Chain A
């Protein structure tokens, strides 16, 4: 009987450890939509969820199967008022690309991983700009778009050590 309880508690602990990753992603998704007084500009916050998706796709891909990524994208679209399917499409394309390159990225320094995130943000922002250019029949301006990409990328080094230490904790 004590063995059963020990086994059960161990399983629950494991589940909660991995479940916290999903909780982090959900909180990041909501954070990108909350009117935070410190970060008024939307362009700074829109990379939050992308940071989580990017990191965990590289370091724990089994925790983020494609249907989960798709659902996160759909919820982001529904909650942010964006075109339905836009984030879902961007996240899916990114997940496919990142999974293809993860072996390479795993062996690189965090600066290189950050550079990879810059590329990921550029792809997402570029595709979003294209989609809105088609719907509004107006070309997006290059400078604000570049500024958005840079600002969204700047936040990655803040999250990377936190996620990395949690990733090490998951290994224990």
Chain B
């Protein structure tokens, strides 16, 4: 009995040892397999990742909107970080501007005095023209242009590339920004919103090669398309061959398509060389910390009907009083 007990213990021990050996062998095999996979992966991972990048690139080249959502979400998430990292640089820039600006203040003051005198004269003329314009509109019963509202916001970043001309602004759909809205700099239009996240949006500048804006040349009232070329001066296309465009003619938005309000200042004709018309933009992005997003124009007739709807009626006023 005793002997049988001892033998069974030995058997158990032996079996346990066999299990441990088998387990350790299996484990070793697993480790070797994992190591071989890791080696194979490390050998092929650059090729796999380069291939993946190439596939992503081709898909975004042929369908740029395919990766719009991840792009917008990433920009939204990173906007506070970009803004925070930019703070010290903005402060240094401001301080630098203040120091260098002190020496220029005297000259600037004299120039502004003379400019102010001229502007006062222009103001009187403008008031007269405005009154005349209003009375003529009243006579002709012209539908009033919808009032524009603006969202003023800070520029927090840009594309940092010479092939993509975009800027990042610190306002999104939560602030009322929508895709397609025009964006104004200090003197004139600089671009349009192409991606609107919740807290940040991306603006495609007029100088970007993908920017096409319907415009009108003031004075000759000729419609054209302002096309960006990734250079300083965008050019006008779709002009008739016999049209005479003079240097210095103002370019404003035409409002065609209802995307932007008509009459937003853009720039002036810089040069006309062998049929190519270059435009100098009134407002560049350089040095502009703040921009204004123009709300989309509402159809005047829709606005009129809305006004009628919103007009206080006797019953509604009564209800209000009752409450």
Residues of B near A40 (CB, < 8 A) are 286-287
Chain B: which residue is nearest A144 at the CB level? B162
Q: Tell me the bound Cα distance from A65 to B89 in angstroms.
A: 31
Question: Does B159 contact A33, Cβ atoms closer than 8 Å?
Answer: yes
B57 within 8 A of A: yes
Interface set, chain B 145-162, CB cutoff 8 A to A: 155-162
Interface set, chain B 81-101, CB cutoff 8 A to A: 81-82, 85-86, 89-90, 92-94, 96-97
A-B contacts, CB under 8 A, total: 156
Given A79-B78, A132-B163, A38–B89 Cβ distance below 8 Å? yes
Given A34-B82, A70-B52, A81–B231 Cβ distance below 8 Å? no
Question: Does A85 contact B57, Cβ atoms closer than 8 Å?
Answer: yes
Smallest CB separation, B79 vs chain A (Å): 9
Residues of A near B94 (CB, < 8 A) are 37
Residues of A near B64 (CB, < 8 A) are 83
Residues of B near A136 (CB, < 8 A) are 209-210
Smallest CB separation, A6 vs chain B (Å): 31
Render A16-58 as a binary contact track against B, CB cut-off 8 A, 1 for contact: 0000000000010011111111101111011000000000000
Question: Does B57 contact A131, Cβ atoms closer than 8 Å?
Answer: yes
Residues of B near A73 (CB, < 8 A) are 53
B75 within 8 A of A: yes
Tell me which of B42-50, B171-179, B270-278 binds A.
B42-50
Question: Does B155 contact A79, Cβ atoms closer than 8 Å?
Answer: no
Q: Tell me the bound Cα distance from A145 to B163 in angstroms.
A: 10
Smallest CB separation, B287 vs chain A (Å): 7
Interface set, chain A 85-101, CB cutoff 8 A to B: 85-86, 88-89, 92-93, 95-96
Question: Does B85 contact A34, Cβ atoms closer than 8 Å?
Answer: yes
Question: Does A37 contact B163, Cβ atoms closer than 8 Å?
Answer: no
Interface secondary structure of A, over-half rule: helix
Render A128-140 as a binary contact track against B, CB cut-off 8 A, 1 for contact: 1101101110101
Partner of B202, one of A30, A81, A134: A81
Q: Tell me the bound Cα distance from A104 to B78 in angstroms.
A: 38
Smallest CB separation, A95 vs chain B (Å): 7
Question: Does A36 contact B67, Cβ atoms closer than 8 Å?
Answer: no
Question: Does A85 contact B85, Cβ atoms closer than 8 Å?
Answer: no
Partner of B85, one of A30, A74, A81, A86: A30
Interface set, chain B 52-66, CB cutoff 8 A to A: 52-61, 64, 66
B253 within 8 A of A: no
Smallest CB separation, B162 vs chain A (Å): 5
Question: Does A36 contact B78, Cβ atoms closer than 8 Å?
Answer: no
Smallest CB separation, A24 vs chain B (Å): 13
Q: Tell me the bound Cα distance from A162 to B152 in angstroms.
A: 39
Given A43-B162, A46-B161, A92–B287 Cβ distance below 8 Å? no
A66 within 8 A of B: yes
Given A67-B49, A70-B52, A89-B50, A75–B74 Cβ distance below 8 Å? yes
- 19 residue pairs from A and B, CB less than 8 Å apart: A30-B82, A35-B86, A35-B157, A35-B289, A38-B93, A43-B162, A78-B67, A78-B74, A78-B75, A81-B71, A81-B166, A82-B161, A82-B164, A83-B57, A84-B56, A85-B53, A96-B46, A132-B163, A144-B162
A-B residue pairs, 7 tightest by C-beta: A37-B93, A85-B56, A85-B57, A88-B53, A89-B53, A78-B74, A84-B60
